[in-house]
Amino acid sequence: MEEKKFDVNSIIGFILIFAILIWMLYQNKSEFEQDQATIAKTETEVKSEPVADQLVDNNAEITAAPKQNEPVEESQQNALTSIENDVLFLTVQSKGADLVEVRLKSQEDFQGRPLYLVKDGNAAFGLDFTTNAGMNYSSRRQFFSTSLTEKDGSQIITLTDSLGVGQFIQFRYELPETGYLMKFSVQTKGINNIVDGSKSTDLVWEQKGRRQAKSISYENRYTRLTYQYEGEKTSKLSQTGEDDDESSEVDWLSFRQHFFSSILIPGRPLNKVKFYSTDLVQDEDIDSLYTKQYKAIMPMSLSQTDMVQSFDWYFGPTDNTILKSYDKNLERSIPFGWGIFGWINRALFIPLFGYLSGMLPYGLAIIVMTILVRLVLSPVLYKSYLSQAKMKILRPELNDINAQFKDNAMKRQQETMALYRKAGVNPMSGCLPALIQLPVFYALFMFFPTAFDLRQKSFLWADDLSSYDSIYELPFRIPFYGDHVSLFPILASIAIFFYMKMTTGQQTMAQPTQEGMPDMAKMMKVMIYLSPIFMMVFFNNYASGLSLYYFVSNLITIGIMLVIKNVILDEDKIHAQIQENKKKPKAQNRFQRKMAEVMEQAEKQRNARK
């Protein structure tokens, strides 16, 4: 991760934070696998090959739907039934009793077209089992009878496959008047005596994430299968390549497509679920339809004559406010960061940004929130700059010590620590401010790319604060950079350059020169130019809201530093205070005494060897 405030006293702190930046950006880069086949199916025509089999074409190891031995009669017709409420439009087909279309009525994709989570055969849901006669039953290959009713304002589609007298399988979809949560159930009656109990009976849910954003690669970094199990534990499958897992007591499972999610919530925890995930993106120019392919296998028990498995099924935005309103911990599927970082986002930045964006345009809300964050952290910046000023004042004396004991590293260290102790200066205090700011920095790094409120919200030249702010489309693609030029990352990089220019000049003045040590000034000079380049390259495809934050944050930090340097800090007073501190007797603590004893012993041994 990159740090919006680089340490001004110790290169160690800067390297630590910068290394975290690179590591996080590297982790978010995926090595994608190419989707070998696209699925095409119109709303009114269903081909003879089932949806599940089409998914097999992309990854045969993940999806292998059982096929029925008996052929389907040509005379049977597939019927489509649609229901809708204020936010959802759903279409169910009689073949397979399956959803073939899920459209979010108030949302659009990056090209301004209607936004579909399910369309063109990218999803399938069905019940699979083996009969006592050795036949493989798959509901996805059956034609169900369909009925449409209404009850208390809800629209209900009931689809039934009759297997004999008193024997049937029934799927039921119930959509309320409002909201993104649909009730769904699978019921069987009288079929336990025809099911081979020695083999698994499974509910199988498959879905391929449809592209909704300008950059499919960036969207894919935040597209992930997540689930909650054993109470409130959450887990995720890998962002890259192929991954699978198995868990028990599953409370819900989410097929997340960055800003939109399909979440299945069983009425009671599922005893065992197998999860699969596969990347389908290798090249943004080639793979433009789908991001990841998901699959979940949920074993069912048909030991009783009747079985009913009820679910709530969520199709909607990956929005913290909406998901939290259902009181099922669904908001935990949003990647706000682990541990303290996620806590900072949920407890601080989400409410704060929600409050500000309710009064201001979203771009201005980001700027105001940035100002507030920097003001709150300004005391930390002051402590850092104060430590830097003290080190600068002590530099002549430190240089004298280095010159006097240039051939005795142990003695040089002893005298240096003694000077620090007498002057009341902590040489490590320059690292602490950077470490204190790290949780805030990382929390914001996770907040902006996952903030649904920023989606398709414009500010200045950026038409979407949740995506990159291209000002020029390149006729070619530059590795790691992309095929466009984003302006906010450039502005943020310029701000970082001038900030580091200021802090590095002050730091090199504060650092004493030592024999045998690398030239600190040269190292810092290299970092001055490398850091802005890394910022500009890696953030070219990131959310422009995040780059806007870094740009404003560094401008404010520069302003605060100028005020501290020219108005608040008085080097003459600091020097006088240090001289007063040196006159006062300083009692060593237990650790300092122990260290002094160890160093004295080492010095005696060194002299004895000579």
565 and 480 part of one domain: yes
Among 303, 335, 367, residue at a domain's last position: 335
Structural domain of residue 187, as residue ranges? 51-335
**What whole-number distance in Å separates Cα of residue 145 and Cα of residue 147?**
7
Sign of the four-CA dihedral 164, 166, 167, 169: positive
215 and 303 in one domain?
Answer: yes
Instruction: State residue 604's pLDDT score.
Output: 67
* Domain assignment present for 8: no
Query: CB neighbours of 450 closer than 8 A, spacing ≥ 6?
Result: 222, 318, 334, 335, 336
Phi, psi of 323 (to 5 degrees): -65, -40
Is the C-alpha dihedral spanning 486, 492, 498, 504 positive or negative? negative
Q: How far is CA 520 from the centre of its chain?
A: 36
Do 402 and 279 share a structural domain? Answer: no
Q: Pick from 262, 184, 167, 187: which is nearest to 223 by CA? A: 262
Query: 195 forms bridges with which residues in the sheet?
Result: 131
Examine the domain organization and report whether 299 and 377 are in the same domain. Answer: no
Count structural domains, the chain.
2
- The per-residue pLDDT for 598 is 63
Burial of 410 (0-12, 13-18, 19+ CB in 10 A): middle
Same domain, 152 and 85: yes
Residues 6+ apart with CB under 8 A from 15: none
For residue 206, give the 3-state DSSP assignment. Answer: strand
Domain holding 209: CATH number? 2.70.98.90
Q: Determine contact, residues 217/324, Cβ cutoff 8 Å.
A: no
Whether 298 and 225 map to the same domain: the answer is yes
500 with 380, same domain: the answer is: yes
Q: Is residue 601 a part of any domain in this protein?
A: no
Domain identity same for 56 and 166:
yes
Q: Is residue 416 domain-shared with residue 273, that is, in the same domain?
A: no
Q: What is the DSSP letter of 131?
A: B
Mean pLDDT by 10 residues, the chain (610 residues): 36 47 42 33 34 31 35 62 95 93 93 93 92 88 93 93 87 95 91 82 93 89 93 89 92 94 93 93 76 92 73 95 92 88 90 92 93 86 74 74 73 73 65 73 88 91 91 86 90 88 59 50 73 87 90 88 76 66 59 61 66
- 41 belongs to a structural domain: no
In a domain, 516, yes or no: yes
3-state secondary structure of 548: helix
Q: What are the structure tokens assigned to 356, written together? A: 């500000």
Task: Tell me, yes or no, whether 362 lies in a domain.
Answer: yes
Clarify whether residues 403 and 503 are in a common domain: yes
pLDDT at 501: 80
Q: Is residue 89 part of a domain?
A: yes
Closest CA to 250 of 361, 329, 143, 177: 329
Domain boundary among 335, 365, 392: 335
Residues 588 and 594: their CA atoms lie apart, in Å, by: 9
Q: Looking at the domain assignment, is residue 423 inside a domain? A: yes
346 domain residue, yes or no: no
In this structure, are residues 146 and 82 in contact, taking their beta carbons and an 8 Å threshold?
A: no
Whether residue 331 sits in one domain with residue 372 = no
Same domain, 330 and 359: no
Global confidence as pTM: 0.75
